[in-house]
Amino acid sequence: MFDISFTEMLIAAIAALVVIGPERLPRVARQAGEWVTKMRRYVDDVKSDFNRQIELSELRDLKKNVEDAARSIEGSVGGAVNDMKSSFESVQQSLDVGDGSGTPLSEPEPTTNWDEIYAVRRTRERIKDRRIERERERGFKRPRRQTFR
pLDDT tens digit string along 114-129? 888 899 999 999 999 9
Residue 21 predicted with pLDDT over 90: no
pLDDT value for 139: 84
In angstroms, the CA 50 to CA 4 distance is: 28
Higher confidence at residue 132 or residue 95? 132
In angstroms, the CA 22 to CA 33 distance is: 17
pTM of the shown model: 0.38
pLDDT value for 128: 92
Residue 8 predicted with pLDDT over 70: yes
Concatenate the DSSP letters of all residues of 78-126 into one string.
HHHHHHHHHHHHHHHHHHHHS-S-SPPPPPPPPPP-HHHHHHHHHHHHH
**Confidence band, pLDDT 50/70/90 cuts, at residue 39:** very high
pLDDT tens digit string along 49-108? 988 888 888 889 999 999 999 999 988 888 888 888 888 888 888 877 655 555 656 777
Residue 132 makes CB contacts below 8 A (sequence gap 6+) with: 142
In angstroms, the CA 108 to CA 82 distance is: 27
pLDDT value for 100: 56
Helices (H) and strands (E) in the chain, counts: 3, 0
